[in-house]
Amino acid sequence: MADYILEFERSIVDLERRLDELKRLSAGQRENFAGEIRELESQVEELKRRVYSSLSPWQRVQVARHADRPLCRDYIEIIFGDFVELHGDRLFRDDPAIIGGPASLDGQAVIVVGEQKGRGTRERVACNFGMPHPEGYRKALRLMKMAEKFSLPVISFIDTPGAFPGIGAEERGQALAIATNLMEMSQLTVPIIVVNIGEGGSGGALALGVGDKVLMLENAYYSVSTPEACASILYKDASRAAEAAESLKLTADILLDYGLIDEVVKEPLGGAHRDPEETADNLKRILKTSLNGLKEIPTKELLAMRYARFRRIGRFKDEAGVGAEDA
């Protein structure tokens, strides 16, 4: 049983603990509790369906931040083979908040790059809680340019509350590093698949987020800022984060409807942290299908489609029915 429990999960966890206790009693005694166990298992599944089918945006943000949620390195280990991690940006230092290198996806050579939060206090501090410095984004770009040189597809994993806003990061060109990645990824001559596996905060996410296909896990979020930061700016009160999350329209289903992402990857009932293997299997299947389709597109057409994809974002119609495409 997980030690980290979200408030809205508590009733589910309590019922699961009762179920585990009943199974232990059944195993240690002659008495058969099979009927009671089946009934409790049914209640657990029904409660999980009821709770997780009606999560608010703020609750989905909490699931995206769950301490046991699979991280970038977890997905790399489960989905890919022959991964060789490469380090450094050749300018300043290695940033553990960005990991990447060559790997294989069922025999297809790729370059994988992604944001890593770290597991446990020591690793999280080393990874700066998944908030990259400019050297991290430069390392990511170095790997993407390597992919272009050897004609390898890029698979990019997003999971960050945002780029690190510290003085040192700003002195070393944080904004320029992000802007350079946006420009270079838009012109990269190989297929790019982007996967948001957890948090997708602001420019920190965008710096790895330009792709031909953008996927998003069911309980991930994508936002111009974290709900707490938004609430602090708009309401001068970070405690109104739940209200801000509602207004930000940051959940996968809404972003799919808006055309900002291309596909939602299903998570197991209760979230990816309850079954990382099943989540990875779902993602791997979609990655393979997407990659097979993108590989067949000629480079010139691929770049034109990528350009058109981002030009479509933000279209609108005014009260007179005139849209951005007509203006």
pLDDT single digits (tens) 159-213: 999 999 999 999 999 999 999 999 999 999 999 999 999 999 989 999 999 999 9
CB 145 within 8 A of CB 185: no
Residue with tokens 């990875």: 280
CB 71 within 8 A of CB 51: no
Distance (Å) of CA 12 to CA 7, 21, 26, 171:
10, 14, 21, 47
Angle, nearest 10°, between helix axes 57-64 and 227-234?
130
- What is the mean predicted confidence (pLDDT) over 276-290? 97
Q: What is the pLDDT of residue 81?
A: 95
Under CATH, what is the fold of the domain 62-311? Answer: 2-enoyl-CoA Hydratase; Chain A, domain 1 (3.90.226)
Confidence at 28, pLDDT banded by 50, 70, 90: low
- What is the mean predicted confidence (pLDDT) over 84-113? 96
Q: What is the pLDDT of residue 29?
A: 66
Residue with tokens 């001068």: 236
Q: How far apart are CA 195 and CA 264, in angstroms?
A: 10
Higher pLDDT, 23 or 74: 74
Q: How far apart are CA 153 and CA 218, in angstroms?
A: 24
Q: How far apart are CA 277 and CA 294, in angstroms?
A: 25
Q: How far apart are CA 139 and CA 135, in angstroms?
A: 6
Q: What is the pLDDT of residue 257?
A: 92
Confidence at 325, pLDDT banded by 50, 70, 90: low
Q: How many CB atoms lie within 10 A of CB 302?
A: 19
- Please choose, from the candidates 159, 154, 138, the residue with its C-alpha nearest in 3D space to the C-alpha of residue 103: 154
pLDDT, averaged across the chain: 91
Angle, nearest 10°, between helix axes 276-295 and 72-79?
70
SS (H, E, C) the chain: CCCCCCHHHHHHHHHHHHHHHHHHHHHHCCCCCHHHHHHHHHHHHHHHHHHHCCCCHHHHHHHHCCCCCCCHHHHHHHHCECCCCCCCCCCCCCCCCEEEEEEEECCEEEEEEEECCCCCHHHHHHCHHHCCCHHHHHHHHHHHHHHHHCCCCEEEEEEECCCCCCHHHHHCCHHHHHHHHHHHHHHCCCCEEEEEEEEEEHHHHHCCCCCCEEEEECCCEEECCCHHHHHHHHCCCHHHHHHHHHHHCCEHHHHHHHCCCCEEECCCCCCHHHCHHHHHHHHHHHHHHHHHHHHCCCHHHHHHHHHHHHHCCCCCECCCCCECCCC
- Whether the pLDDT of residue 238 is over 60: the answer is yes
Domain range summary for the chain, segments of one domain joined by +: 7-54, 62-311
Per-residue pLDDT of 65-93, as tens digits, reads 999 999 999 999 999 999 999 999 999 99
- Please choose, from the candidates 245, 203, 205, 200, the residue with its C-alpha nearest in 3D space to the C-alpha of residue 220: 200
- Please choose, from the candidates 197, 201, 241, 177, the residue with its C-alpha nearest in 3D space to the C-alpha of residue 70: 197
Percent of the chain whose predicted confidence (pLDDT) is above 90: 76
Distance (Å) of CA 144 to CA 153, 207, 209, 305:
9, 12, 12, 19
- Whether the pLDDT of residue 232 is over 80: the answer is yes
Confidence at 14, pLDDT banded by 50, 70, 90: confident
- Whether the pLDDT of residue 2 is over 60: the answer is no
